[in-house]
Amino acid sequence: MARPLRVAVIGGGIGGLAAARALLMRGMEVTVFEQAPRLSEFGGGVVLTPNALTALRALGLEDRVLADGFESKSQVVRSWRSGRVIVRNSFASYRSMFGATSCSIHRGDMQKLLAEFVPERDLRLSARCTEVIPGPRGAVARFADGSEVEADIVLGADGIHSAVRTSLFGPENPHFTGLMCWRGLVDPARLPPGLVAPEQTAWWGPHGHVVHYYVRRGELLNWVAHIETDSWTEESWSTEGDMAELLETYKHWNKQLRQIFEATERCYKWALYDRDPLKSWGRDRVTLLGDSAHAMLPYLAQGAGQSIEDACVLADVLARTPEDPDAALKQYEALRLPRTSKVQLGARERGRINHLSSPWDRFKRDARIAWRRWRGAKTALQEIAWIYGYNPQQPVVAQP
């Protein structure tokens, strides 16, 4: 009997830990290498759309995520100043059409949940990968402390600044999108009762938008505010923001948003940089997953979901052909790269639609949305069905 495949996963974020869970479920030997000294609870919320929950169901984790997160009743889009509802989608319709709902969860809670399924001995912290060396029969990962690890497969899940991707394809030059974001977490007890409904809410306005939703079983409200700006160089999520600057930027927006911002004790800001889709994800026994492969703008709420889909598909193809990992990795890329590239470009386009500056353009956009809703909720949801209706256990090479 052949020995199990040995997989070194570089990166202990949502994608890397989901991959570890999927690979361990199929009997492979997995070690996760994370550069941080501990798995941090720092960060904000994550929206998981129906396709993400379908993938988590395949990992046996859907119920846990729903229990640890927050299941809103619906998704609503409002006009930036008046609060007029542009569109509302009931998550009951998601269940009937896509077989799963949508929920939101704190990033730290999600990471902690996934880490429960990786044996402690197989989660190496303070392990910063600096280089990978692909080979036809395996690969070597080198670390900042001078150590090396050899594995049958090295999986780069080390995020947007991936050392694995750089080893494969050289350094990249991401381009600034002209957008910056603020984010914060609010204790609902600091808000007027009933101010924020149990919905995933987006406010679309000129040159920007704001989203907010509950996480941690409703114990926290997460918000993210996007706005166009001329220049900004900081890509880190941990740069502390100036509350006065935030309030000045959104002073003409709906009063409800200003109340949320004013109740926030600390906010952070960062810039959005964009990457074009890659033409290939790997070489020999090294491949990429999640943001390492397809970092995308947040406007379709697909960053985490696409990473979890990657994890499920990779584990399935390796389990089907363990005797030929090279063929399995090629199949993984063929199944996933076209879809994630389309999502990347779709997120870029959605950002443009969200931030229309012309009142006439916004009127036409809202009228088109209203017309689609008039034709029926199912018809309106068909446009997003190629994302939400995906099942990673039944993947296809090309999307419609």
Q: Provide φ and ψ at 136, rounded to 5°.
A: -70, -20
- The β-bridge partners of 281 are none
Strands 85-90 and 74-79, how do they pair? antiparallel
Query: Over 70: is that where the pLDDT of 379 sits?
Result: no
Q: What is the mean pLDDT of the chain?
A: 91
With beta carbons less than 8 A apart as the criterion, state whether 16 and 34 touch. yes
Mean pLDDT across the stretch 258-275? 92
Task: For residue 84, count CB atoms less than 10 angstroms from its CB and return exposed for 0-12, middle for 13-18, buried for 19 or more.
Answer: exposed
pLDDT band at residue 300 using 50, 70 and 90 as cut-offs: very high
pLDDT band at residue 351 using 50, 70 and 90 as cut-offs: confident
With the CA atoms of 355, 358, 363 and 364 taken in that order, what torsion angle do they form, in degrees rounded to the nearest 10? -90
Mean pLDDT across the stretch 42-69? 95
- Which pLDDT score is estimated for 41? 66
Provide the residue ranges of all domains of the chain, joining segments of one domain with +: 6-173+276-388
Strands 123-124 and 29-33, how do they pair? parallel
Mean pLDDT across the stretch 3-14? 96
6-173+276-388 carries CATH number 3.50.50.60: yes
pLDDT in tens, 90-130: 898 899 999 999 999 999 999 999 999 999 999 999 999 99
Q: Which of 94, 213, 250, 388 is catalytic?
A: 213
pLDDT band at residue 232 using 50, 70 and 90 as cut-offs: low
Is 213 noted as a catalytic residue in this protein?
A: yes
Distance CA 7, CA 22 (A): 12
Q: pTM here?
A: 0.93
